[in-house]
Structure 1
């Protein structure tokens, strides 16, 4: 409900004798009537007075018609009337104005969001039917980390990730998979350093349609930046000790549950920025290879 409008006791028309003498609500002297008047957007709830009838009310809506734009005003009694939006056709706080259509509010630009891997996200994009090609990783933790960062990208590309539980049986697995032009195979190996057992196995299975790459870290845990985990650095564990158990002991974590430690590490990974470049480059290389 509008507040009482005190300009006129009634909305039927002007009651000022001087107004009636002029025969028009516009009291601007004739020699000044060609001067420009302010253009005011007819925003909702703006209270104005139509100069010809003296009808005073709040703007309800503006419409585009074949005869030109119109404005609907509502008086203090809730009655509505429609008026053409003619030049110099209204009074605002006693001054002549020209009502104009409010400027359309442009929608805020939609900024592209990015996936955890840094790729531009595609809102509403559906997962692609899985390709024949695959990416194999050594263990469950490797697969979980890749899902964490590259999961959205892999679903859109239709690439499935599976884990091997080590690389000792990789030659037999690759042979059974039978990589080909329409079924490429990518493999990510931990601690792929020249001269190691893993390096020799990788070389034996690499082909035109099978690519084996790796990072230099003993375990995928090390591929997470220490700063993201809240530590200064990953501890160096003497050769011959179980690496994960040694890490937990050195950091004061529960030694009996390395799975719990991994979940803590994984929870601190929010995007590619939490991973070392040596891992990032290798995973991107595998995705490009499998989807080529």
Structure 2
């Protein structure tokens, strides 16, 4: 007599044989596993931080296996392109070499289409004046190519107080228009009243609301959250340097470091962009040649 047949299967068997184990050998809790991070192209101007050293700077060069950053004082550091190797706005990212895209028309720093092989035009009689050397250097950095093609020379006043005498000596007319860019041109200010006194059909004075041309550079381009407020009666540049931890005894060197971070019109506030474009159009318009 045969023993009774059991219908109970061992726990390690399924309907069609031994049950395969579904457990992973990795017992690490999910919240402790490394999370994937985004890959970000290391495009020029991208501001990132290398967490191991705390070095924060803008990408100026990306080569096979390395990326070069420049901080706000112009110091360069080269780092390897490693996974999770950088922080972007406080979050870990993996920098990768930018993909080579289709050829696009070359553009000047102001955003204009570049004219290959174009020669500088003989200087016009018209001029653009700005308040100081820093203003002139910034305009040259962004609009220099355009101004040379148009034959427009930029000079500086060394202070808005000299504007009335400069306008008188220049004697603007239909064939010699004068454009002037003034800092902190707000209603009721000293600059506002001086500008009104010299404006005419052939002399255009425009301005931006910033106390100093430094402020027209976007804070994000310098890796700072915002431009600090400086109490009235205190030198603005010195106060800014102290608030941001920059060397306050050499504002000229600080400005050069700021200027290096300006690569194109994208690094400037629109309140400045519109005014400079307006002056160029005025000086080069009909009757300005």
Show the 5 A alignment for 1:45-64: none
Identify the residue that residue 211 of structure 1 maps to in structure 2: 204
Q: 2-side partners of 1:145 and 1:170: how far apart?
A: 20
Q: 2-side partners of 1:178 and 1:221: how far apart?
A: 31
Matched, 1:133 2:126: yes
Identify the residue that residue 256 of structure 1 maps to in structure 2: 249
Look up the SS of the partner of 2:129 in the other structure: strand
Q: 2-side partners of 1:285 and 1:210: how far apart?
A: 12
CA deviation after TM superposition for structure 1 residue 195, in Å: 0.3
Stretches (4+) displaced over 4 A: none
Comparing 109-118 and 140-149, the one that deviates more: 109-118
Identify the residue that residue 113 of structure 2 maps to in structure 1: 120
CA deviation after TM superposition for structure 1 residue 161, in Å: 0.1
CA deviation after TM superposition for structure 1 residue 151, in Å: 0.1
Matched, 1:291 2:270: no
Identify the residue that residue 175 of structure 1 maps to in structure 2: 168
Identify the residue that residue 269 of structure 2 maps to in structure 1: 276
Q: Deviations over 1:37-65 (max 9, x none)?
A: xxxxxxxxxxxxxxxxxxxxxxxxxxxxx
Identify the residue that residue 44 of structure 1 maps to in structure 2: none
Greater C-alpha radius of gyration: 1
Identify the residue that residue 229 of structure 1 maps to in structure 2: 222
Show the 5 A alignment for 1:186-197: 186-197=179-190
Structure 2's unaligned 5+ residue stretches are 1-101
CA deviation after TM superposition for structure 1 residue 205, in Å: 0.2
Q: 2-side partners of 1:232 and 1:110: how far apart?
A: 34
Matched, 1:161 2:150: no
Equivalent residues, number? 184
Look up the SS of the partner of 2:174 in the other structure: coil
CA deviation after TM superposition for structure 1 residue 110, in Å: 6.3
Look up the SS of the partner of 1:168 in the other structure: helix
Q: 2-side partners of 1:291 and 1:231: how far apart?
A: 37
Identify the residue that residue 145 of structure 1 maps to in structure 2: 138
Q: 1-side partners of 2:103 and 2:260: how far apart?
A: 29
What TM-score comes out, normalization by structure 1 length? 0.62
What TM-score comes out, normalization by structure 2 length? 0.63
Relative contact order (C-alpha < 8 Å, sep 6+): which is higher? 2
CA deviation after TM superposition for structure 1 residue 112, in Å: 1.5
Q: Deviations over 1:51-99 (max 9, x none)?
A: xxxxxxxxxxxxxxxxxxxxxxxxxxxxxxxxxxxxxxxxxxxxxxxxx
Q: 1-side partners of 2:104 and 2:265: how far apart?
A: 20
CA deviation after TM superposition for structure 1 residue 169, in Å: 1.6
Q: 2-side partners of 1:150 and 1:272: how far apart?
A: 9
Structure 1's unaligned 5+ residue stretches are 1-108
Q: 1-side partners of 2:227 and 2:203: how far apart?
A: 32
